[in-house]
A and B are shown apart, each in its own frame.
Chain A
């Protein structure tokens, strides 16, 4: 996909906080429409695209899950034109002071919310409880400031309005992109690459390309889409913690050398082994990450939906996760897309027979 970068920038620039994914869903639907045979939305808003396989019906199916929702903030109150805030998904309040943000104001009535530029402010120490001192101010004490007069703010903004990061995506050295919401729009881009490759690759199985909602707030999209689609296998694609300043422990992987394949209880060992063997055969670089308990990804949900679905997790290494300056290597995205396509193209009608416990 030569146009990966502009598409990724378009994806991360579209609003789509958990529970409010419509704006980004519209972009993805538009992009996937020519690549699939049918596309529809689930009841919670997840996007389901079907690319039919060549095996005689009834065919087995593989579902690829990439969550499209983003973390962010929400207005809890308005005081003298300033907005009090809470989080949507996991936000470390220490990254917020001085951030550019967009308030999606709904007070003007019907139609799309009006985007208002804003700044997240850490009030001066004397306006905060004494015990905070030089420690970080918890989120409940931070304020969003649109710069507009209080009367205008009262007209435009309502409690419950969403506030998203507004950092512009930018390329750094070494073919990496930096911006907010690369978790998990990077994976949506990887799945799009996979769908494009499959246009010219016959595959026996049905492929369900799924962009799930509400991953960051409890995997609601993955649970419900898996239940509705009832795939034979599920592949979740998400980002994982990359090595970098502040993060160098065993549970981090380098960027630019992935994707990472996840080993642990969320993933089926036979599927994991299948991906590892395929990557070795293709001489495609990959890493292995170990998740001894839960991954917190869509794979955690797909695995236990309905009567259970054999699941596997492909991860794209990402630095500074959940900050407005996430960093991802483009080639990790491209390789994740290619690995998925190769895996899917190689699924024989009897592949399910190999997904067994070998003990």
Chain B
């Protein structure tokens, strides 16, 4: 069975260094199509840009299981030109404006280097430094005379790197999920129909997942995503009870977030698979946030859904951190849970 080795890490690196701001996912889509080539029974790109790939199970009776991993990432769009290679921009997806200042960026499909600068500290006052610089005061500077196109997307220009057993990169949310789903397509369990959706526009309102779920019309769905680990110390050294997830404790099974109340049968099934096979997992603390499951579970007459995520720190910033072991256990847990899916999984009462 597939696990995470050098090949998978190389793919993750390639996916992370690609730029795919919501609505402009082409670069990641091309990598996905190339990576699953020859491994799926059917592959199509739908009208929104989702990649839908299916592999049929061999058992006489089996569940049709949708696995959704969003390809898009948060980022920027150039919206006005000040001249001399300087552009105004807007954010796409949930970005804290405090994370933008002083960052190198890649602009457009050619990854033109640019930078979001700031006024030198010498010219600021103490009062000014205590205030957040608003978005409309920030610019992307690609150098004197540089030319980009209005409408070009931009992302943080962070190159994937490893630090011990951790990864440091932009867009680990959700290239970790995309790389995982590629692996699942390449090595699908025979007991189910695997319906893979590499979705677009998750960060822009779960728009790809909605039509993908409609088209695939599965019996159940699993959102393959990445979730924040807020496991940092509090400023006053008090306990941190609201950590969401912790790095190193394994894949995070969702019970409830803003968009979805997970189907309890699926929660129990995944936890039981982890227990039976000795794979560590954690329950994500119920709370805010959302995944593609938020759109999927309301399609058709309802699709029982669950999200399972890889924990990572500093989501939606230039540099997130995830652990290799969490990713290994993530793939192992999903594989174990899929392999253990009997056709009657959803015939039990919910509670």
Give residues in A with beta carbon < 8 Å to B: 79-80, 82, 90-100, 116-119, 121-124, 126-129, 134-137, 141, 143, 145-149, 152, 167-168, 170-174, 176, 178, 241, 244-247, 249, 251, 255-256, 296, 319-325, 327, 329
Contact = CB atoms under 8 A, between A and B. Distances in A.
B144 A127 contact: no
Interface stretch (B6-14, B98-106, B198-206): B98-106
Contacts of A323: 101-102, 117-118, 120
Contact of A178 (B113, B118, B147, B242): B113
A174 B86 CA distance: 12
Interface string B93-134: 000101101111000000011111111111110000111110
Interface residues of B, number: 66
Contacts of A329: 144
A200 to B, nearest CB: 32
Given A94-B132, A100-B158, A127-B230, 4 more contacts: A171-B143, A178-B143, A245-B141, A327-B141
5 contacts: A92-B124, A94-B102, A123-B235, A246-B117, A322-B121
B314 A320 contact: no
A259 to B, nearest CB: 16
B234 interface: yes
A325 B321 contact: no
Contacts of B236: 129
B122 A322 contact: yes
A173 B145 contact: yes
Interface stretch (B27-35, B39-47, B161-169, B263-271): B161-169
Contact of A100 (B115, B242, B319): B319
B86 A117 contact: no
Contacts of A244: 86, 117, 141
A96 B323 CA distance: 23
A173 B158 CA distance: 19
A141 B339 CA distance: 46
A145 B118 CA distance: 24
A172 B99 CA distance: 22
A325 B146 contact: no
B144 A176 contact: yes
The 6 closest A-B pairs by CB, nearest first: A172-B143, A173-B146, A147-B166, A95-B102, A173-B143, A320-B117
B217 interface: no
Contact of A97 (B98, B235, B320): B98
B158 A147 contact: no
Contacts of A172: 85, 113-115, 141-143, 146
Interface in B224-277: 230, 232-237, 240, 242, 248
A127 B240 contact: yes
Contacts of B55: none
A93 to B, nearest CB: 7
B130 A135 contact: yes
Contact of B168 (A100, A135, A137): A100
A94 B133 contact: yes
A207 B248 CA distance: 59
Nearest to B319: A119
B137 interface: yes
Contact of A146 (B145, B163, B232): B163
Contacts of A145: 232, 313-314, 321
Of A116, A145, A241, chain B has the most CB atoms within 10 Å of the CB of A145
Of A80, A170, A172, A322, chain B has the most CB atoms within 10 Å of the CB of A172
Interface in B137-189: 137-139, 141-147, 156-159, 161, 163-164, 166-168
B103 A325 contact: yes
Contacts of A134: 98, 132
A325 B113 contact: no
A80 B233 contact: yes
Contacts of B124: 92
